[in-house]
Structure 1
């Protein structure tokens, strides 16, 4: 609106317009040159750890503090020696806009690396999608969606997910049953719905993001077989790093969190492993799995490698 008003005012006198444009350009160049010298306002509350979280999104978080992101928040708060305070909002459309961007909170515990809607910290873990099926249904030993035994089978897929891309690339879309992804999980739980359909035999196998699939496979009935997808050759990337997210511009806060992640990585790993999260080594060229918490790194270094295993199938174990 203001730009339009300036344009209307200057249009009858083009010489003056060009002169003003030159002044504005010069000022813009000067401001840009010195932008790095201007300190940004620190909007982070230093008296409590203000976490943006979903009130009903297990295994990640809930209002009872039962999710692994709740436990990781406790680790960060313990290191900072401050209490945790939550801002609750469903982690669906508008989540960042209504929480972090609105300055109601200062930290999202789990966010995908590379999404520029937030400023990413270093990764707190790397995981992959998992294949799920019921034991004794002719799929025992399954390791990949390329297995011919899946031809003609009913496959559960959350819509718009990397796991769905793998199913499509292997030519298995003709019998797919779709489940919604972006929902308010106070009222809908697509992952639990898929798990129950596999147990009932309405679906033969399914694919979910690893932390979700491994968690719900142990709840509500017979445990399902959980197979981390380590051997897929088609369908694109299915393993991703998960970071913490802060507001763009909160660079000092990001650096402080990175130091805490480095220092407490072993504690974070233990929480994740306790919840059955399929953890991968932090190396995009490897699909080896982490089986023990990484040790604390020496100052300035990275976390020492943990014990790893390449065995794809892991029995579902009850998480906390």
Structure 2
């Protein structure tokens, strides 16, 4: 069974060949390396990242977590070394951090039990994305406007799926939802829906709305030539059918191995020192931010 978190599935997944990108950029402030080539060093901060997980990380360095990692490494007086894999980010802890292929993984839920997590460096939540000209504003999960939404773009296995089940809109939306991933079965495997596609579905009018994690879609909402509205989903507490409350807002941290408490102290100090610069990166990305909970 897979554990659902704000943007990642963790647990048992089918295996896939790992293609690791090895391109060294000499003379820059960071480098890309094949896992296992760079030993731990007090002069470097090895960051394991997915090569194709925009808007979070990308091997071209354009991901917002690439930029945050650079800020942290510089504040720690270390050189940022990115260890990229073609695997999705859900595998980074199990296959890379736990195997000492890197020192840190970006953007895990604060308090993730598998690791030690830093103080949070941002907090955001699930949002509704709609065309502004539709004038859709959902006040609560019983809002009459929800009844008028025929197609809603969501990621399979996300809190967005859970809420549709809880409010009785899952069955009517299911065929559309699965069409976005070409009807692949998500059982015991990870099937990622490109967040840019969710936003494009709204732009093109194929979806009445998207319910997505703010960090995933902020970039694409901001870049849209069609005016879009992005609003946090209602905060009212809804049970998921098994007696558990569906959570929509999450604080995000950097993660290290449980044995790396000293590195964590340095990371926490770097976050505290550079929080304003980190926040600017996130705001420039278009991520809707919530107050960070201590």
For residues 210 and 68 of structure 1, what CA distance do their matches in structure 2 show?
A: 13
1:278 aligns with 2:288: yes
> How do 1:199-210 residues align onto structure 2 when only pairs under 5 Å count?
199-210=203-214
Deviation of residue 97 (structure 1)? 2.4
Instruction: Name the counterpart of 1:214.
Output: 218
Q: In the alignment, which residue of structure 2 is the partner of 1:162?
A: 159
- List runs of 5+ in structure 1 lacking aligned partners: 1-42, 284-301, 303-320
SS in 1 for 2:120: strand
Gaps of 5+ in 2: 1-38, 240-245
Output the aligned Cα RMSD.
Answer: 2.4
The corresponding residue for 1:11 is none
* TM norm structure 1: 0.68
Provide TM-score, normalisation by structure 2.
Answer: 0.73
Q: Structure 1: how far apart are the matches of 2:147 and 2:77?
A: 54
Larger Rg: 1
SS in 1 for 2:287: coil
**Secondary structure in structure 1 of the residue aligned to 2:108:** strand
* Count of aligned positions: 238
Equivalent residue for 1:95, pick from 77, 89, 92: 92
- Residue aligning to 1:52: 48
TM-fit CA distance, 1:221: 4.9
Q: CA deviation at 1:232?
A: 3.5
Return the offset for 1:251. 0.9
State yes or no: 1:258 paired with 2:268: yes
Partner residue, 1:173 = 170
Distance 1:261 1:92, change over 3 A: closer
Which structure would you say has the larger RCO, counting Cα contacts within 8 Å and 6 or more residues apart?
Answer: 2
Shift of 1:226: 0.8
Deviating more after overlay: 253-262 vs 163-172? 163-172
CA distance in 2: counterparts of 1:263 and 1:270, whole angstroms: 14
The yes-or-no answer on 1:83 pairing with 2:94 is no
Q: Which residue of 2 aligns with 1:308?
A: none
Relative to 1, partners in 2 of residues 1:146 and 1:44: Cα closer, same or farther, differing over 3 Å?
Answer: farther
Residues 144 and 216 of structure 1: CA distance in aligned 2, closer, same or farther (over 3 Å) = farther
